[in-house]
Chains A and B, each alone.
Chain A
Amino acid sequence: MSDAQEIATRPASEVQAKETGTGRTAGLVLRPPADVFEDAEGITLHLDMPGVSKERLSVQTDKNTLTVEGDVQIAMPESMEALYAEVHSTHYRRSFTLSGELEPDKTEANLKDGVLTLRIPKRSELRPRRIDVRAV
């Protein structure tokens, strides 16, 4: 696997610097756990974002970056008190850097039961080609 084909997360410091810059996400941000795999046609990501509905999800891509953000919405009575909590935020955010052979414009996104699946295809001319070795 060459370096160019690697899909890598940004350095944490870079992302955090951005987050504290905006007032909205100055609090805690959840980093959704991800599975990332590559096959001949492209790269697939699965991200766990429980509590996020389609309306509260944002997937943004530019040439180099993929950013996923979402907000948890839970119906909850006003008078509710927290007895115990392991999830301390309602905002998810995570970014990945992309590489040149991918086509982020053609990203397909699918959200089901709190799992976001993203499929980023490779440019067809850059897909690995299988070379047959002939016996002479």
Chain B
Amino acid sequence: MFGSLTNFESLFDELRRMEQDVDELFGRWAAPAGIRSVSRGTFPPTNVGATANTVDVYLFAPGLDPKGFEVSVQQNLLLVSGERRLPLEEKATYYRQERFGGEFRRVITLPEDVDANRVEAKYRDGILQISLQRKEAARPRQIQVQ
């Protein structure tokens, strides 16, 4: 069940290529953006993957208390918010401050067949994974030919 990492990479590489192709076809500016889409670089960076039965959202949000996440689902909209506190060392000289600090909030539009009542969230190594089951009726069904 553990997909290989190379598999994962090629999966997203493929997506990126497609995205570039689309960009070239229509031009970055002409293509309409999703009404809830955000610019790249928004914290936390997010990947969404799907299987026939589930939709999985991966939020790359390191250094947070799992209890600090506010996760809710409204039909096919997933809302995740929280706050990342980065206390400053007072007697230190800072050379770089590249990490994100402060409040964040993301809204992710999911496929319409997710079941808002069957959602699980777990936090491990700084990644928040939210798994949503798809509604039974929407799953592809294998039909036996007699």
Contact = CB atoms under 8 A, between A and B. Distances in A.
Interface of A: 1, 6-7, 27-28, 33-40, 44, 46, 48-53, 71-90, 112-115
B26 interface: no
Given A51-B125, A53-B125, A86-B46, A39 B92 contact: yes
A51 B11 contact: no
Give the interface residue-count category, chain B: 35 or more
Contacts of B95: 6-7, 36-38
A40 to B, nearest CB: 8
Interface residues of B, dominant DSSP: mixed
Contacts of A6: 95
Given A86-B46, A113-B62, A113-B64, A35 B97 contact: yes
A76 B126 CA distance: 16
A48 B62 contact: yes
- Most A Cβ at <10 Å: residue of B40, B56, B63, B111: B63
A75 B2 contact: yes
29 contacts: A27-B13, A35-B94, A36-B94, A37-B95, A38-B92, A39-B89, A39-B92, A40-B91, A48-B126, A50-B62, A50-B126, A50-B127, A74-B127, A79-B51, A82-B14, A82-B49, A83-B49, A83-B55, A84-B47, A86-B46, A86-B47, A87-B12, A87-B46, A88-B16, A89-B12, A90-B9, A113-B62, A113-B63, A114-B63
